[in-house]
Amino acid sequence: MNDVNDVNDAMTIYLVQYDSRGRDIPELAPLFRINQGYCERHGYTYTFYPTSHDRDYPPYWVKVKAVMSALEEGAAYVAWVDSDAVVHDLERTIESFFAKAKGKDVIITPDPPVYGSPFCAGNFLVRNTSASRAIMKKWWEAYDSGAWARDPNSGEWECVYQSPRCDWAGPQYEQGAFINLFLERKCPERSKILIKHYSLMNWWCFKACRYGKPFILHFMGDHKQDIPDYITHTQNRSKIK
Ligand SMILES: [Mn+2]
């Protein structure tokens, strides 16, 4: 497979989402529709990864697999967008971020300071190169199937190691594993990863934001309660236009 250097019409750009509950989630469905509309506007492929994968590994790790399969299918660029996230700046393209970041194959941001993680796995962008495919592969290989058990009745996944090894977003989770592999130690992959400001794609601010217009909004944690307000806000905004 060749590396991607410049965008041309033959390229395919994917926006990939997943939620173990599927697409019919009343409070999130409006966000899925906006993301799908964003893809239609730019000729991107919108993918909602099949929930059947949740039987094989925990939902936190499904995103790594989902992005890997988009790359394997030949996507030139992939945007991973959490199910509680939405593309807010509909004019901006995924590929434009890489045009400004020569030699970078993965674009990430940290959490907003209140959460404090150096990497937020909620939303990130990947350019399809041998380096990014190697990063995804290494990330996936950090998944420890022995750490996780699925309750056959509820379908819920639980990390079974003793505390603190199972701490939320720690090394057993995809977010902590990425930090461990690529941010906390010197590694050749690190030079391919660009870290942008959290307000670019892992923040929830959509009114009077300090850092300009976010590309993607992430209604993480308690900010899920802001989603109805956001939907009203975007509907009013499109009426004005
Ligand atoms: Mn999220």
Matching residue, tokens 């990430």: 108
Distance of alpha carbon 147 from alpha carbon 174, whole angstroms: 12
Q: Are 67 and 97 in contact (CB under 8 A)?
A: no
Beta carbons within 10 angstroms of residue 226's beta carbon: 16
Distance 169 CA to ligand 1 centre (A): 12
Q: State CA 181 to chain mean position distance.
A: 18
Which residues keep their CB under 5 angstroms from ion ligand 1? Answer: 82, 84, 122, 220
Each residue of 206-223: b (16+ CB within 10 Å) or e? Answer: beeeeeeebbbbbbbeeb
Give per-residue pLDDT as tens, 43-97: 999 999 998 888 899 999 999 999 999 999 999 999 999 999 999 999 999 999 9
Distance 122 CA to ligand 1 centre (A): 5
Give per-residue pLDDT as tens, 97-108: 999 999 999 999
Distance 1 CA to ligand 1 centre (A): 31
pTM of the model: 0.94
Extents of the domains making up the chain = 13-240
Distance 211 CA to ligand 1 centre (A): 20
Domain at 13-240: CATH architecture: Alpha-Beta Complex (3.90)
| Max Cα-Cα span within the chain | 54
